[in-house]
Structure 1
Amino acid sequence: MEHHEQPAPLSPAELTAVRRSLTDGRLAMTRRTLLRAGGALAAAAGAGAALTACGIAPAGRTDAALTVDHSGSEKRLAFSNWAEYMDVSDDGRHHPTLDAFQRRTGITVAYTEDINDNDEFFGKIQAQLANGQDTGRDLIVLTDWMCARMISLGWIQPLDAGRLPHARANLAPEYRDPAWDPGRKHSYVWQGIPAVIAYNIRATGGRTVDSVSQLLEDPRLKGRVGFLSEMRDTVGLTLLDMGKRPEDVTADDFDAALARLQKGVDGKQIRRFTGNDYTTDLDKGDLAACVAWAGDIVQLQSDNPDIRYAVPKAGYMTSTDNLMVPGKARHKENAERLIDYFYEPAVAARLAAYINYACPVDGVREELAKIDKELAANPLILPDREMTARSHSFRALTPQENRVFNQKFSDLTGA
């Protein structure tokens, strides 16, 4: 069966291109270069588009399940993704894994890097989805909290499990049953996004930094600490350090975490809240330590041996970016075939070698080791059992909570 064909092994030239991509600076612009908005713009999306965490959608809900699929007669699909979130050939002109899929299936993939921000992208397609119209896209990649929003609105097509044998078999256990999409009926993980602590060992004077308490309280780090402008990661890590579970956060818990961060701001312990731009300051040592995303750390370490990371004993935050088929998409089966393709371990390994975020595919380690043994042994890319056990996710927020929490966080960060 075509679903079970194995991709051809990497040629010597392809292996060289992959390895070179890890060190030639091209990937210094990671998937996180354009900051994912953490919901700060949610209120601007309008009341009709508000997240209905209880499952009650506003007027205009469409039944995506009734969409007519044209995959049989139209061998194509349109795939929207974030910038720098796909493997690229050494000349920068091709995407090798997508090219291989097109050769194998005869399905032409129109690949577009037109997602810069969850809310901004939602605004692009909101009116079409609300009116039951095709967005012109068959496959999109959005962050878990936005996925929850769109699924609850009825704007995402349910997937056909029978067309996803690799995805069903190889999705890592920790991603299988999110509260916002039980049983993965509408989505599959593209990449996991761990938020941990990074530090420059030269800037810390040889000291390890492995807790939010150190970031906020160690006087030797004063003025050289960074936190992320992504609310769920920064507040989530602070909650964990306080012995609270982000999965169960209450309004009082949230306010207590913000008060702790505010003290760090007022005392000038925190230098600033950042998007991906913390990487330059950390590399130079202007930031001694900060909350950081795993993919950035892997990239920084390839060029600077002083960059270290720590997974706090209290735990770390993980979010996911996820593949979904929007309502009224014309080529659902074609999109499902592409989703399943990226869950083949050899294909997943090629992607992981380029983008360096947490791979959601079980069985990929051996394939990744053929490309780069160090990457295959890196728990930021392939978390081991111990690290996985310390992972936490921020719970889904109601529309009111989302607006209030983000406004309070915006007031704290000065955004």
Structure 2
Amino acid sequence: MPALNRPTPSRRGLFGRGAPDLAAPGLRAPGRGLSRRGFLRSSGAAGLTAALAAATAGCGVPAAYVEPGDRAARDRSAQEKRLTFANWPLYIDVDDADERKRPTLDAFEERTGISVDYVEEINDNDEFFGKISPALMNHQDTGRDIVVISDWMCARYVRLGWVQEMDRPHQPNVEKYLDPLLRKPAFDPGRRQSVPWQSGITGIAYDRRRLGREIRSTADLWHSDLRGRVTLLSGLDEAFTLLMQGDGVDVTRWTADDFHRMTDQLRRLVDRGHIRRFTGNDYLKDLSSGDVLACQAYSGDIIQLQADNPDIEFVVPEEGAELWAESMMIPNRARHKRNAERLIDYYYEPEVAAELAAWVNYVCPVPAARDILASAKDAETAELAENPLIFPDDAMRGRLAVARDITSAERGDFAREWNSIVGL
């Protein structure tokens, strides 16, 4: 897995310690949240997942598939007021004075009496898949009640029957406040088995001053003045959607022909030396130094970069860009399902979602949190409500799409084709 190459940002909370309270004086300005999306998949781990997919795929039901009736264990939530929450590093608010404290989680514990064991153990989707898949395949408890995984990987868990359906009547905030753009991914149309933790956009970043012109479409990346000065993301699941959209493809229902047409174009660009290289999140270093002038990028990363270099622009191309999410799921046999559902719903309270958004600076899956931020007394905090990379405006939302994921049957061939171009 590529190293995370970025300076340590200042990280300041929105509401201070304890429960969110907009009426409290002295709201603190937000910091620049560390990028979680920057943790890309390693090709070795991807091979593990592809091998498992191949082994479990067959005629009809795959061998590892778990029937709905075998997914639940006896829920101990009433007797055991606790839960275990597995997440990525640096993906939650922390207290300025003591970074071991997490104000939103602390407020949940105080309100409900439920103790949360928050574990920052997910560094790679495939690696974590390999870590907990033996328990899930063998109908055993993973020891975790909530996990946060990228949606393209969530699709595999859902297809394998490895996660439980949530009791939505117990989650009125999710029902009311979840962004409509995120409600119907192809793998989980009703979001009954997954609920976004945070969201983001994969688009184009460029240095306006150094390039000397605007970029408005994906095709603008292929102009001669950018030869050898463009990078793309190396991960198949991270990169392919934007490139397809540049060809005018409806990525909610793309086909194998669309994929091969995209890779044929990509291979020609590589052969001509137009693409400098394929990257992990180290594209930030290249863009900052001027080694590249334009690159495929994540919205949350660019919010950070813009604070140091206002000439950096982030573009949702005219043809569109991918809106993605990393979602909370409740694994099979989890022992504290009801407690987990309560925590998930808690993070969909607009005040809590606003507190989290002010720290992580990705697209907030709770649009109602925008009004909370806008009403903040601190001007820098209030400005976040107007940032389209946290709360996309209507024009941008019209160009965003949640892509159909790659199925297990497609993944092996597509990954080989992609890796032969990228050089993995």
- TM-score, normalised with respect to structure 2: 0.89
* Residue in structure 2 matched with residue 45 of structure 1 by the alignment: 52
Change over 3 Å in CA distance of 1:308–1:64 after alignment to 2: farther
Change over 3 Å in CA distance of 1:59–1:94 after alignment to 2: closer
The structure 2 residue matched to 1:380, chosen from 374, 383, 389, is 389
CA distance in structure 2 between the aligned counterparts of 1:349 and 1:155, rounded to whole angstroms: 31
Change over 3 Å in CA distance of 1:392–1:233 after alignment to 2: farther
* Residue in structure 2 matched with residue 287 of structure 1 by the alignment: 292
CA distance in structure 2 between the aligned counterparts of 1:411 and 1:291, rounded to whole angstroms: 19
Shift of 1:299: 0.9
The structure 2 residue matched to 1:395, chosen from 389, 404, 407, is 404
Shift of 1:10: 7.3
CA distance in structure 2 between the aligned counterparts of 1:366 and 1:282, rounded to whole angstroms: 33
| More off after superposition, 364-373 vs 103-112 | 364-373
- Aligned residue runs from structure 1 range 58-207, under 5 A: 58-59=63-64, 61=66, 63-91=69-97, 92-205=99-212, 207=213
Q: Which runs of 5+ in 1 are unaligned?
A: 1-5
The share of aligned pairs that are identical, in percent, is 47
Q: Secondary structure at the match of 1:183?
A: coil
Contact kept, 8 Å, 1:202 with 1:285, in 2: the verdict is no
Indicate yes or no: 2:21 matched with 1:8. Answer: yes
Amino acid at match of 1:148: A
Indicate yes or no: 2:218 matched with 1:208. Answer: no
CA distance in structure 2 between the aligned counterparts of 1:182 and 1:212, rounded to whole angstroms: 29
* Residue in structure 2 matched with residue 309 of structure 1 by the alignment: 314
CA distance in structure 1 between the aligned counterparts of 2:239 and 2:53, rounded to whole angstroms: 26
Shift of 1:128: 0.4
- TM-score, normalised with respect to structure 1: 0.90
Indicate yes or no: 2:333 matched with 1:328. Answer: yes
* Residue in structure 2 matched with residue 346 of structure 1 by the alignment: 351
Change over 3 Å in CA distance of 1:102–1:305 after alignment to 2: same
Change over 3 Å in CA distance of 1:49–1:138 after alignment to 2: farther
CA distance in structure 1 between the aligned counterparts of 2:135 and 2:276, rounded to whole angstroms: 42
Contact kept, 8 Å, 2:142 with 2:334, in 1: the verdict is yes
| More off after superposition, 365-374 vs 223-232 | 365-374
Shift of 1:113: 1.1
CA distance in structure 2 between the aligned counterparts of 1:65 and 1:326, rounded to whole angstroms: 8
CA distance in structure 2 between the aligned counterparts of 1:268 and 1:100, rounded to whole angstroms: 53
Q: Secondary structure at the match of 1:184?
A: coil
CA distance in structure 2 between the aligned counterparts of 1:12 and 1:90, rounded to whole angstroms: 17
Q: Secondary structure at the match of 2:87?
A: strand
Shift of 1:235: 2.0
Change over 3 Å in CA distance of 1:46–1:179 after alignment to 2: closer
CA distance in structure 2 between the aligned counterparts of 1:158 and 1:46, rounded to whole angstroms: 22
CA distance in structure 2 between the aligned counterparts of 1:181 and 1:320, rounded to whole angstroms: 12
Change over 3 Å in CA distance of 1:105–1:111 after alignment to 2: same
Shift of 1:7: 4.2
Change over 3 Å in CA distance of 1:232–1:60 after alignment to 2: closer
State the Cα deviation string for residues 296-342 of structure 1 (Å, max 9, x = none): 01111112111112111101112211111000111011111110010
Shift of 1:252: 2.0
State the Cα deviation string for residues 248-276 of structure 1 (Å, max 9, x = none): 22222211111111122111111111111
Amino acid at match of 1:390: R
Contact kept, 8 Å, 2:241 with 2:322, in 1: the verdict is yes
The structure 1 residue matched to 2:262, chosen from 251, 254, 257, is 257
| More off after superposition, 97-106 vs 173-182 | 173-182
CA distance in structure 2 between the aligned counterparts of 1:260 and 1:235, rounded to whole angstroms: 12
Contact kept, 8 Å, 2:185 with 2:402, in 1: the verdict is no
CA distance in structure 1 between the aligned counterparts of 2:138 and 2:342, rounded to whole angstroms: 27
CA distance in structure 1 between the aligned counterparts of 2:65 and 2:255, rounded to whole angstroms: 31
Q: Secondary structure at the match of 2:327?
A: strand
CA distance in structure 1 between the aligned counterparts of 2:234 and 2:271, rounded to whole angstroms: 17
Change over 3 Å in CA distance of 1:59–1:307 after alignment to 2: closer
CA distance in structure 2 between the aligned counterparts of 1:163 and 1:223, rounded to whole angstroms: 53
Contact kept, 8 Å, 1:57 with 1:154, in 2: the verdict is no
Contact kept, 8 Å, 2:65 with 2:162, in 1: the verdict is no
Contact kept, 8 Å, 2:64 with 2:160, in 1: the verdict is no
Shift of 1:59: 4.6
* Residue in structure 1 matched with residue 6 of structure 2 by the alignment: none
Change over 3 Å in CA distance of 1:404–1:106 after alignment to 2: same
Contact kept, 8 Å, 1:197 with 1:309, in 2: the verdict is yes
Shift of 1:353: 0.8
The structure 1 residue matched to 2:360, chosen from 355, 375, 395, is 355
Count residues with an aligned counterpart.
398
